[in-house]
A and B are shown apart, each in its own frame.
Chain A
């Protein structure tokens, strides 16, 4: 699988990112002063309590939500660049188009960009092979299980060879067994493609198993509570969650709880 693995140096970073939503009850600060940087090929996981603005963060990076303050920057050695199609987004649900076959769903972004579909067909088939769905090219989404549909969504996000994958709790709607399988597959896929990944989840185990580093967020408005670097070599085995990953899991959990403690004090409990 040939893909544009980071050949030149680049970096994606957020500086002082903040998002304020206007709601009926007045403005709500979803994200505050969020700064971080992701190096090429890194796998950054983001955990935090529900409603802490994790999804907002990804949406702001992917350009779906306009930040109220701060900015997201993509920099290469040649300076700042407005490169197109940097991000492949994967949502909580597969969001496949039910009237298209699996292969046509994977090729959807190509059609939307107005590229020549013929040039990308092999790439799409190759990606479907990597996620184990090459026997299902001509099937329709309703003929696939939830886990298979989400794998199609992953292939679709990769088909235009984006530099960064933005994954917003992609496996949270799946059962535990499927979820573990997909975690394992995703890790292999990531090692094969060398993509940079930002992965939002509310499962600490998932965050530590997959991540090269894990950003722990506070309750709303989401800020960074702690960044835990997970120095365990890849590929990892799921059973390491009970082994050398356990210590990191504990660290992340503590960081999450610490936040809850502060919150109680703030409320005067």
Chain B
């Protein structure tokens, strides 16, 4: 106890968090064994670990992860770029934004996943259909946050630029973009998480490969070890995105809120 008090706060937090995770896994393992839960309902962590190891070794996980990650990356990047560019145009041209508002709201309120079957029909079972779904999902948060980011720029800063005789492009480049960047980044973070979701749902609806497909196949065969292994990969991807996001946030936006 005394030693714990001396530890710096961050180390103490890490210690507590790691302990909680280990406790959870142990409780899962021994709880399932104790109550004799059938392995085809809830596999124990050790089974999952073995299955994870096997399917990594025969490259199954890797191959399917690669497909899903490609869909996420391609879809996210194209959706984010289009969302950012259109958001910037809408933020700069208020009349255009107001005119197009019904479409913005429509893309906002329609559950994008409901469109997944259409994309499968249009673009087939390959990765193209999933890339489109992910792009559509990633598009919206980036669009909205780009607009709100541009609108949140201090009028004073724009005035300052105008006092230098700066034109629209210079105002965007020197003031609006950097000032809006934290907002845009928040949109990117949301979009990245939702992109993974979009890819999996797209794969559920119709696909030949990918982690979503692997989960479906595993479920049909009652190979829950494989299902959980796939989920574990998704968990790792999710954590990776979060850690990357937090890291960039600290580095890039040290000035926010000061």
- Which residues 142-167 in B have Cβ within 8 Å of A in the complex? 154, 156-157, 159-166
Q: From residue A85, how far is it (CB to closest CB) to chain B in Å?
A: 8
A108 at interface by CB-CB < 8 Å: yes
In the assembled complex, which residues on chain A have CB atoms less than 8 Å from the CB atom of B157? 95, 97
Q: How far is the CA of A226 from the CA of B156 in the complex (A)?
A: 31
B255 at interface by CB-CB < 8 Å: yes
How many A-B contacts are there with CB distance less than 8 Å? 47
- Most chain A Cβ neighbours within 10 Å, of B163, B174, B255: B163
Q: Is the CB of B164 within 8 A of A109?
A: yes
- Most chain B Cβ neighbours within 10 Å, of A64, A89, A112, A113: A112
Q: Is the CB of A93 within 8 A of B156?
A: yes
In the assembled complex, which residues on chain B have CB atoms less than 8 Å from the CB atom of A64? 159, 162-163
Q: How far is the CA of A63 from the CA of B178 in the complex (A)?
A: 25
CB within 8 A of B178: which of A62, A84, A95, A99? A99
- Which residues 72-111 in A have Cβ within 8 Å of B in the complex? 84-85, 87, 89, 91, 93, 95, 97-99, 108-109, 111
A36 at interface by CB-CB < 8 Å: no
- Which residues 109-148 in A have Cβ within 8 Å of B in the complex? 109, 111-113, 140-142
Q: How far is the CA of A93 from the CA of B160 in the complex (A)?
A: 11
In the assembled complex, which residues on chain B have CB atoms less than 8 Å from the CB atom of A63? 163, 165
Tell me whether A62 and B163 are in contact in the complex, defined as CB-CB below 8 angstroms, given that A95-B154, A97-B157, A98-B255 are known contacts.
yes
Q: Is the CB of B160 within 8 A of A89?
A: yes
Binding site for B on A (CB under 8 A): 62-64, 84-85, 87, 89, 91, 93, 95, 97-99, 108-109, 111-113, 140-142
Provide a sorted-by-A list of 21 A–B residue pairs whose CB atoms are within 8 angstroms.
A62-B163, A64-B159, A84-B165, A87-B163, A89-B160, A89-B163, A91-B160, A93-B156, A95-B156, A97-B157, A97-B174, A97-B179, A98-B255, A99-B178, A99-B179, A111-B174, A112-B166, A112-B170, A113-B164, A140-B255, A140-B258
Given contacts A64-B159, A111-B174, A112-B170, 9 further A-B contacts (CB under 8 A): A84-B165, A89-B163, A91-B159, A93-B156, A97-B178, A98-B255, A99-B179, A108-B174, A140-B254
